[in-house]
Amino acid sequence: MSAFVTKAEEMIKSHPYFQLSASWCPDCVYANSIWNKLNVQDKVFVFDIGSLPRNEQEKWRIAFQKVVGNRNLPTIVVNGKFWGTESQLHRFEAKGTLEEELTKIGLLP
């Protein structure tokens, strides 16, 4: 097991709400805007790989693929399991159920 996989597992275990992200990724910026809008940005640990060298970004994405089954940006993990990407947030927002869904996972009271 690579050191990246081990570190990915540790980060996910340490943070009930986790997001693999990159500063250059428009979908990540959208997800972060949701956390800010709902005032839960302090509850979601965002691991931003955007400033790392490209080869290291790829190693992290491969590690998260192995750990949670997804390498997309953003990858949102709740209680150690893959929850979704920005697509999930968009779907819930379009249906008007975003706050309800985030309450179900404990992110909102």
Q: Is residue 109 part of a domain?
A: no
pLDDT in tens, 35-78: 999 999 999 999 999 999 999 999 999 999 999 999 999 999 99
Q: What is the pTM of this model?
A: 0.95
Q: Is residue 24 part of a domain?
A: yes
Average pLDDT over residues 76-86: 98
Percent of the chain with pLDDT over 70: 99
In the numeric block, the tokens 């979908």 are attached to: 27
The CATH number of whichever domain residue 31 belongs to comes to: 3.40.30.10
Q: Is residue 81 part of a domain?
A: yes
Strand order in the sheet with 81-84: 45-48, 17-21, 75-78, 81-84
Domain assignment of residue 13, given as a range: 3-104
pLDDT in tens, 92-107: 999 999 999 999 999 9
Q: Which of 52, 36, 44 is nearest to 105 (CA)?
A: 44
**pLDDT given for residue 1 in this prediction:** 64
